Amino acid sequence: MKSMFCDINELRALSFFSTSLYSKETVDEVLWDITKNVVHRLGLVDCVIYTYDKDSNQLVQRAAYGAKNPTADQICNQIALALGQGIVGSVAQQQRAEIVLNTSIDPRYIVDDAQRLSEICVPIILNGTLFGVIDAEHPEKDFFTEKHLYLLNIIAALCAQKMKDLSQKRRTPFTKANQYFRKLETLMRKKKMYRDPYLSLASTAESLGISACYLSSMVNHLLKKSFIDFVNEYRIADVKRNLHSEEFAHYTVVSLGLEAGFNSKSTFYSTFKKHTGLTPLEYKKSYPSAP
């Protein structure tokens, strides 16, 4: 049996889940996001989330990723289970997570889209009552471990907290004391990450250990600008300094733009004029020394 303690990649995965869920505004957005990231971040082959309908006393497939999800936000052969029916229904009824190492000898197992030999189910409990179940299957026997169970229990708790936040329409406000924002500023000011011409929202978010949605929301909320405008302001400030620097006196204006991280002459010129109202040469003539 594997250790219950998470390694660094698993900690990053959990951090990703918590930040990715931040920007989601609806129940469906949350559930689809979780199913996709359970597969990608935990290395599984499929994930389905059932939600509990109290009126019908049924568990209904609400989101999926893998074979059950051939196209975006669609579930193939969407099914519903009575409370207590199948392994999913049993876990929901008992409100207790379970690993089934060999479904072929478990009489509760119900074939959905295909027969698989191991299954893991974790209930999502909201305010002491059943909200739904996270379910994953795998074609190999004995695939799921206690570590999978540990991680999925945390993800289920994150899901429940997000459901609670949505029901109360509450969101923790961003502040400039946010640890990720401080790290972002450090990467720009000290590491000069903006000089990378291939820098993107996704790659920056990965460096920070957060989701692209969370990073975009944070920059937009705190600075009232897009991520690309935020990065380009650092690049333009770099060019402004170097236009008047002896160290870069032998550089052409275009070379200064490329040095600062712009990936083409046209992008450099159009962005510089957008932010300053002047071309780089006009700026240099208007400001003989750095302002």
If you average pLDDT over every residue of the chain, what do you get? Answer: 90
Check whether 3 has a pLDDT greater than 50: no
CATH number at residue 274: 1.10.10.60
Domain ends where: 114, 148, 168?
A: 168
In a domain, 81, yes or no: yes
Phi, psi of 171 (to 5 degrees): -140, 130
In whole angstroms, give the CA distance from residue 39 to residue 41: 6
Q: What is the DSSP string of 213-262?
A: HHHHHHHHHHHSS-HHHHHHHHHHHHHHHHHT-GGGTTS-HHHHHHHTT-
Domain ends where: 141, 168, 195?
A: 168
Which pLDDT tens digit goes with each residue over 190-201?
999 999 999 999
CATH number at residue 57: 3.30.450.40
Q: Would you say 52 and 132 are in contact if contact means Cβ atoms under 8 Å apart?
A: yes
Q: % helix / strand / coil in the chain, to the nearest 5?
A: 50, 15, 35
Same domain, 208 and 237: yes
66/1: higher pLDDT: 66
Same domain, 128 and 251: no
Same domain, 119 and 239: no
Same domain, 163 and 186: no
Which of 63, 61, 68 is closest to 45 using CA atoms? Answer: 68
181/177: higher pLDDT: 181
For residue 49, the model assigns a pLDDT of 97
Which pLDDT tens digit goes with each residue over 207-266?
988 888 788 888 988 998 899 999 999 999 999 999 988 889 899 999 999 999 999 999
In whole angstroms, give the CA distance from residue 231 to residue 196: 10
Same domain, 151 and 74: yes
Q: Which of the four pLDDT bands, split at 50, 70 and 90, describes residue 82?
A: very high
**E strands, the chain, in order:** 47-53, 58-65, 80-82, 98-100, 118-126, 129-138
What SS3 state is found at 290? coil
What SS3 state is found at 64? strand
In whole angstroms, give the CA distance from residue 279 to residue 274: 9
In a domain, 291, yes or no: no
Same domain, 147 and 114: yes
Same domain, 128 and 220: no
Same domain, 27 and 150: yes
- Domain membership of residue 39 as a residue range: 8-168
Domain ends where: 168, 194, 217?
A: 168
| Cβ neighbours of residue 130 closer than 8 Å, sequence gap 6 or more | 52, 92, 95, 123, 124
In a domain, 132, yes or no: yes
In whole angstroms, give the CA distance from residue 30 to residue 186: 31
Same domain, 33 and 121: yes
Same domain, 212 and 127: no
For residue 288, the model assigns a pLDDT of 65
What SS3 state is found at 93? helix
Split into its structural domains, the chain has a count of 2
In a domain, 21, yes or no: yes
Same domain, 191 and 118: no
Q: What is the DSSP string of 116-134?
A: -SEEEEEEEEETTEEEEEE
Q: Which of the four pLDDT bands, split at 50, 70 and 90, describes residue 103?
A: very high
- For residues 145-162, give the mean pLDDT: 94
In a domain, 257, yes or no: yes
In a domain, 266, yes or no: yes
Q: Is 28 left (phi over 0), alpha (psi -120 to 50) or beta?
A: alpha
| Cβ neighbours of residue 23 closer than 8 Å, sequence gap 6 or more | 211, 213, 214, 216, 217
Q: Would you say 121 and 133 are in contact if contact means Cβ atoms under 8 Å apart?
A: yes
Q: Would you say 209 and 15 are in contact if contact means Cβ atoms under 8 Å apart?
A: yes
